[in-house]
Amino acid sequence: MRNLIARIERWETARPFVISRGSKSHVDVVVAEIREDGRLGRGEGTPIYYKGDTPELALAAIESQAGAIAAGAGRADLLDLMPPGAARNAIDSALWDLEAKVRGERAWALAGLPQPQPMLTAYTISLGDPGTMAAAAKEAAGRELLKLKLGGEGDLDRVAAVRRAAPDARLIADANESWEHIDIEKICHDLHALRVELVEQPLPAGRDAGLLHVKSPVPLCADESLHSRAELGELIGRYRFLNVKLDKCGGLTEALALIHAARQRGLGVMTGCMLSTSLGIAPAFVASMQAGFADLDGPLLLAKDRPHGLMFNGSDVCPPEVELWG
């Protein structure tokens, strides 16, 4: 019989992590563990705070499924038993990990994907004044892809400062819903001149209709507006890319289905992450194997990581070792 247990863990950040909605000095994650016949499957989720989720609510949601897991509920069953979110992600990831151990295969093989190679990941520069962001970009010299957290007024100056500090880096901009009072078409043309390759979530979720007539030379990417396949249809024509995060969509199982549906509709895919340890990033790595952009730097932003954490080689993140997950 399968036994499900869960807990909340707190992990400190290496430095304040700042976006348009505020600053973080730590992240609280939920960890699900499923034991069966001496084998252990693990999964981690980070509650989406802007959706009203908390570690306590996520923990209670995981614990509520102990009976179903003991009775044999699998990954497909979770899609009906639980809504999208960190709790389902943690259980789904633990089930993937357990199945990989039971079958003696890696998780990507279970997903029908080939043996992975190291993958380019973005590295996040927190929101700050232009000088602070430029200094952080200079400190990250050598990283190929930088993701810049923006906040509204003064964003063009921020990006220009980073471009001067990191003239050879590829850049992604993440507005985090902060451009409601900004001329999006104009700033996107200016950002295109600074060689920005992607702009995430310019408007607040639910107000995406404001993008219907925006002619941007830089592809726009939905983040907060997209959680699972349920929102996909209404984003068509407003975005050219989707940011798929396992904590939003509720696990690797839904993420793979969402990526497939997006690609069928001609949309590009970025896979992202919340602040998390390598245990939270490992299943996202599998999803990222089918994405055009990957933002899997969560563990790099923490003061320390788990044992057997992901190895980062320059700008690349390496596939997870079996001791970590999958």
pLDDT tens digits, residue range 85-117? 999 999 999 999 999 999 999 999 999 999 999
From the list 230, 221, 278, the residue with the least C-alpha distance to 250 is: 230
Token pair for 59? 């923990």
pLDDT tens digits, residue range 137-152? 999 988 999 999 999 9
In degrees rounded to 5, what are phi and psi of residue 102? -65, -40
The C-alpha angle with vertex 38 and arms to 35 and 40, in degrees rounded to 5, equals 40
Cβ-proximal residues to 271 (8 Å cutoff; 6+ apart), any chain? 243, 244, 245, 255, 259, 284, 287, 288, 291, 293, 294, 295, 296
The pLDDT of residue 6 is above 70: yes
The pLDDT of residue 20 is above 70: no
Percent of residues, the chain, with pLDDT higher than 90: 90
CA 203 vs CA 92, 118, 147, 176, 200: distances in Å: 31, 33, 18, 8, 9
Q: CATH class for domain 119-317? A: alpha beta
The pLDDT of residue 217 is above 90: yes
Q: Where are the beta strands (DSSP E) in the chain?
A: 3-19, 22-36, 39-45, 119-120, 123-125, 145-149, 170-174, 196-200, 220-222, 241-244, 268-271, 293-294, 312-313, 316-317
For the chain, residues classed under CATH 3.20.20.120 are 119-317
Q: Which residue has the higher pLDDT, 227 or 269?
A: 269
Residues belonging to the active site: 149, 245
Q: CATH class for domain 3-105? A: alpha beta
**Residue 214: burial class (beta carbons within 10 Å; 0-12, 13-18, 19+):** middle
- Tell me what pLDDT residue 21 has: 67
For the chain, residues classed under CATH 3.30.390.10 are 3-105
In degrees rounded to 5, what are phi and psi of residue 154? 85, 5
